[in-house]
Amino acid sequence: MSEPVVTPKVFISYSWTNEEHVDWVEGIANRLEADSIPVVFDQWDLTHGQDKFAYMERMVGDPTITKVLMICDRKYVEKADARDGGVGVETVIITPEVYNKTAQTKFIPILRERDEDGEAFLPIYLKSRIYIDFCDDDNFAESYDKLLRDITNKPTRKRPPRGEKLPAHLLEEDAPFVATGPKLEKLKHCQQRSDNGPKTRVGPGHRASGGPRDSAHLVK
C-alpha cells in the first residue's frame, strides 16, 4: 500500500533586518509559491488587529505546515539568542521542538550571512543542525534546488531497493565446506591407520608379485 501524499506547506521565520533583507525573504516566498508550495509569510498573512503570537504559534500548532524556514543572518541570531522581539518569541516556540525531537526535519536553517571569520551565523539552539547555504547569490539556483527538494522530499540521491537475499555465488561458497567436511575427516582417519600398520619393503631376494626367495629380506 502506497503512503499518503503529504502536501508541503512552508512557514518563514526571519528578522526585519532591513528592507533589502525583507525583499530577499519575500523573493524566496514568491519563488516557492510559483513552484506550487503554499507559504505562510507575515507580509501577506498578518494584518492589523490579528494576534501576532497566535500567528507565530502556527509554525508548531498548525498540522498543515510541514516545514519552517529560519532565515539566519546576524540580526536573527542576536534576537534569537537574546529572546528579543518576534524572533525571540518564535525561538521560545521552536526550541523545545528542536531539542525534544532529535530526528526533527521540520525546521530548516537557511544561512544568509557569515561572520568575519567565515563562521555561519546560527542561533545557539541550531548550531548542530545542517543548514542550506544561501550566502552566495551566485549559487542561488543550486541552493534553491536543494531547498525545494528538501521541502518536497525529492532528494537527488535515493536509497535503492534492498535485495531479498545474498548473491548466489556467495551462498555457493559455503556449500563445499559443509559437504566435504565429514569426507575429509574419514580420509584423515584412514591415513592414520595406514601409517600405524605393518610396513614391508621389497629386497633383492623378494619378488613383488610373489613370495619371498629369502625370508631374511622380510622386515617387520
In three-state form (DSSP H/G/I as H, E/B as E, the rest C), the secondary structure along 62-95 is CCCCCEEEEEECHHHHHHHHHCCHHHHHHHHHHH
Q: Are 108 and 150 in contact (CB under 8 A)?
A: yes
Helix, strand and coil percent figures for the chain, each rounded to 5: 50, 10, 40
DSSP bridge partners of 120: 114
7: cell is 502536501
- The total of structural domains in the chain comes to 2
Asked, for residue 23, whether it belongs to a domain, the answer is yes
d(CA 82, CA 167): 58
Task: Look up the domain containing 208 and give its range.
Answer: 182-220
Per-residue pLDDT tens, the chain, 220 aa: give them: 455 567 899 999 999 999 999 999 999 999 999 999 999 999 999 999 999 889 999 888 888 999 999 999 999 999 999 999 999 999 998 888 888 765 678 999 999 999 999 999 999 999 999 999 999 999 999 999 999 999 999 999 999 999 988 888 888 766 555 445 555 567 666 677 666 665 555 555 555 444 444 444 444 4
Calpha distance 90→70 (Å, rounded): 10
Number of other CB atoms surrounding residue 220 within 10 Å:
5
- Residue 206: how many CB atoms within 10 A of its CB? 18
Q: Considering the domain boundaries, does residue 107 fall inside one?
A: yes
The domain boundary residue, chosen from 99, 133, 152: 152
Residue 157 lies in a domain: no
Q: Write the CATH number for 20.
A: 3.40.50.10140
